Structure formats: structure tokens, C-alpha cells
Amino acid sequence: MPDIQIRPACEGDAPFIFEMVRHLAEFVGELEHFAAQPDDVLRDGFGPDRHYHSLIATIDDVQSGLATYFFTYSTLQGRPCLFVLDLILAPEARGRNLGRQLMAALAEIAVEKNCCRVDLHVHNQNPAQEFYKAIGMQQTEELPFVLNGAPLSDLAGR
């Protein structure tokens, strides 16, 4: 039976994090929009003004999965929320219950931090939608909206 471990990421994991996110962009057909650089992972995932956290899953000491997340807040509930940015498995790690274990680790963090919910967005081309439904996640009636590029600059008056 393989030894599966899940742990918080450290700076030495930055190259793996970068490659896994690049892999996800390619997997969902968004590689042309992938603009992150390895230095971004170090600055924003481990720097003094950290914007997200990461969990690394290993199988027999081989990095095999990644979950990235940050905290938001529900003013309606008066409690924090955990937002999952990425849940990515190496192709050879799929079908080994690793995704469920990463989501369970995220759920533990959410409960420890008194979060009222766990949120995530799934690309419409990602077959993982069925996985999320199978673990009890529900689609909501809320639609994500994005403001970026020229409309963002225009609204900011720049």
C-alpha cells in the first residue's frame, strides 16, 4: 500500500507548484493565458505579503498533488470562508483517492478556522466537476464575474 502524506508547502516546493499550475492551464486548454512565473509563486505563496497557501500531497515521497487556497469572508454569516484556487493531481496519481484526501485536508483547515463554507470555481471544460459533486459540493445560483484587462484599467481611471 502506498504511503500518502499531505503537508503544508515550503519554499522548496515552489518549482513543483509552478509546474502543476502550468499543467492545469494546459489540461483545461488555457495555456495561452498562463502568465505566472516561478518568482510569482515564491513572492505570493511564501513572501511577507502572502496571498495564498498550498498543500502538497506525496505518494511514497514523490510530489503528486497540490491544493492552493486562501481565505475570504462572508459578511452574511459573519465567518471566514476557505476558497480553493487549485486542486491538481499528477496524471499518474489520479484514481488513487488523492483528490479526496486533499479536499479532506482542506475541509479540516476550514473547520479549524471556523469557516462557514468551502468555495471553488471549476473550469467548464474540467471533468473534475463530477468529483466535486460526488464529495458533496453543490453548484450555486451565483455566477462568477470577472473584471480584468482594459475594463479594469478603465474603471480605475488609468
pLDDT, position 37: 96
Helix, strand, or coil (residue 63): strand
Binned at pLDDT 50, 70 and 90, residue 66 comes out as very high
Binned at pLDDT 50, 70 and 90, residue 143 comes out as confident
Dump pLDDT digits (tens) for 83-132: 999 999 999 999 889 999 999 999 999 999 999 999 999 888 788 899 99
pLDDT, position 123: 82
pLDDT, position 144: 87
Q: Return the residue matching grid coordinates 498543500.
A: 55
pLDDT, position 13: 97
Mean pLDDT score, 72-88: 97
C-alpha cell at 8: 503544508
Mean pLDDT score, 6-34: 95
Binned at pLDDT 50, 70 and 90, residue 133 comes out as very high
Strand order of the sheet with strand 53-59? Answer: 4-8, 53-59, 62-74, 79-89, 118-120
Backbone angles phi, psi at 136, to 5 degrees: 105, 0
Q: Give the domains, in start order, of the chain with CATH numbers.
A: 4-155 (3.40.630.30)
pLDDT, position 22: 96
- How large a percentage of the chain has pLDDT more than 70? 100
DSSP secondary structure code for residue 27 in this structure? H
pTM of full prediction above 0.85: yes
Mean pLDDT score, 19-28: 92
